[in-house]
Amino acid sequence: MTPRLIVSDLDGTLLGRDHRLHADTIDVLRTLVNHGHHLVLASGRHYADMRVFRDQLDVPIHLISSNGAYTHDPEDQLLDANHVAPQQAAELIQLPRPDSVRLSLYLDDAWYIDAESPRHLEMHAATGFVYQVVPPDQMPSEGIGKILYGGAPEELIKIEALIRESCDDTLHVTYSTSDSLEIMAGGVNKGVALSALLKRISVAPEDCLAFGDNLNDVEMLSLVGEPHFMINSHPEMAGRLSAAKQIGHHGEAAVAVLLRERFGLPVSA
């Protein structure tokens, strides 16, 4: 069998409702890697946050983090890093926003947030990844892979409109969830990062399976030969990915179910 590359988003896709890896998912992914297939995790999460899941799986995995801003190999070597231009980062940090909207920065080795926000820690409980509170006037403008605004969707839409009016194509603007507006440097997304990685490891896009659930996965899913999106996906995914296959719910380990069927693996007891 031709070795395949399997690339998956995490939250809403590979992880369950508790933001943890299901036992069956761990078993399937380990089995496929041991059979000679390649595995990539591609997420909006920070690299330090994603590394916990890689270590739990305990097989060689490339990591695409911060929506494509960073790519690391299985030995923790940084293969690629793309930062928001300092002037643009400074403008985004100072962009007017309601008090209810939180501003976060994903730096190379840290997560800064403008005020305490316990709800932002809930999805990271399984990894222990935590923020540092830094007032906006003390936030750096250099070395930023991703800038996030977290809040009510109706407020984020207004912020998104302001950003798009001024940035042209010099920033990549997307959502990982309806309440997380995420900005990277122009041309930075999971699809571009995956394309560069495939060339590096000599794997053709048509030999890839990909899984995702939200708008920040569209470029990645559009690149590969076997794209899949979850039944719990953003409602626009089906219209943007006419060639993709819809599969089950992330809370029911649907990626593992599909992979067992696709590769003829026995069902676990």
Contact 12, 216 (CB under 8 A): no
Angle between the N-to-C axes of helices 254-263 and 23-34, in degrees from 0 to 180, rounded to the nearest 10: 30
Phi, psi of 144 (to 5 degrees): -105, 120
Contact 46, 70 (CB under 8 A): no
**Catalytic status, residue 11:** no
Distance between CA atoms of 105 and 217, rounded to whole angstroms?
Answer: 20
Distance between CA atoms of 57 and 85, rounded to whole angstroms?
Answer: 35
| Among 9, 49, 114, 213, the one annotated catalytic | 9
103 membership: H or E segment, kind and range: strand 102-107
Distance between CA atoms of 41 and 51, rounded to whole angstroms?
Answer: 10
- The catalytic residues are 9
